[in-house]
Amino acid sequence: GENVEQHPSTLSVQEGDSAVIKCTYSDSASNYFPWYKQELGKGPQLIIDIRSNVGEKKDQRIAVTLNKTAKHFSLHITETQPEDSAVYFCAFGGFQKLVFGTGTRLLVSP
Amino acid sequence: KAGVTQTPRYLIKTRGQQVTLSCSPISGHRSVSWYQQTPGQGLQFLFEYFSETQRNKGNFPGRFSGRQFSNSRSEMNVSTLELGDSALYLCASSLGDSTEAFFGQGTRLTVV
């Protein structure tokens, strides 16, 4: 079945450092790759997404890269801040039927 | 603009009972998807409704069902509850095809 591997499961960085989370997916037909941030007690929040006709997309301190040949996509957060601490999920598939990764717990220490 | 609203936020039920969860999508959104989130299985897709029709279904038993009303509000029902149904149930809405999905805060269901 469709699945996506997400690494690392936990990531600890110092404030100001960069953080990178990587995902590998199984279904080559997918054309939508969103990233969600989930804080404690809240639902997942869409932070950035990329579609298959684009290789990279940036939004301020956040960027996502996509390599469709290798079936890899990555989330890059620069100049991390304590408020970036949360669980991050990659996903792929249809817009309304997403397959989620297992999540990365990011901890940013002041 | 109000976000996706799920009610109730918390629910405790006994094994064998049934439960109904409600989701009000963002105004104008016509697609509603439901997900189950557990520590062991992560986020898993349950089903998706668009214009009152179920378009997609995940790999869950028939005890899990849903429906959508003409105003796009959606409900999901779980019958004959099992301990393993304890989870955070999340609803996401989107305008329609090829548009982003936005999640509600979820309903935390505990089965005892």
Give A47-100 pLDDT, tens digit per residue: 999 988 778 999 999 999 999 889 999 999 999 999 999 999 999 987 788 999
pLDDT at B1: 65
Instruction: Sort out which chain B residues have CB atoms less than 8 A from A36's CB and list them.
Output: 103
**Of A45, A96, A101, which has the smallest distance from its Cβ to B33's Cβ?**
A96
As averages over each run of 10 residues, the pLDDT of chain B (112 residues) reads 92 98 96 95 95 94 97 97 98 88 96 98
Nearest chain B residue to A90, by CA: B43
pLDDT digits (tens, 9 = 90+) for A33-51: 999 999 999 999 999 999 8
What is the predicted pLDDT for the residue at B15? 98
**Beta-carbon separation of B104 and A43 below 8 A:** yes
Phi and psi of B83, rounded to 5°?
A: -55, -35
Considering only the beta carbons, identify the residue of B42, B58, B106 that sits closest to A102: B42
| Chain centre distance of CA B34 | 3
> What's the pLDDT score for residue A29?
79
Closest-CA residue to A31 (of A13, A17, A51, A46): A51
Contacts 24+ apart (CB under 8 A), A57-66: A62/A35, A64/A33, A64/A35, A66/A33
Which residues from chain A sit within 8 angstroms of residue B33, using beta carbons?
96-98
Contacts of A49 in chain B (CB under 8 A): 100
Residue A95 has what pLDDT?
A: 78
User: What are the distances in angstroms from CA A53 to CA A3, A57, A67, A104, B12?
Assistant: 21, 11, 10, 26, 45
Model pLDDT, residue A94: 79
Q: In B, residues 7-66, which contact A (CB 8 Å cutoff)? A: 31, 33, 35, 42-45, 48, 50, 55-56, 58-59
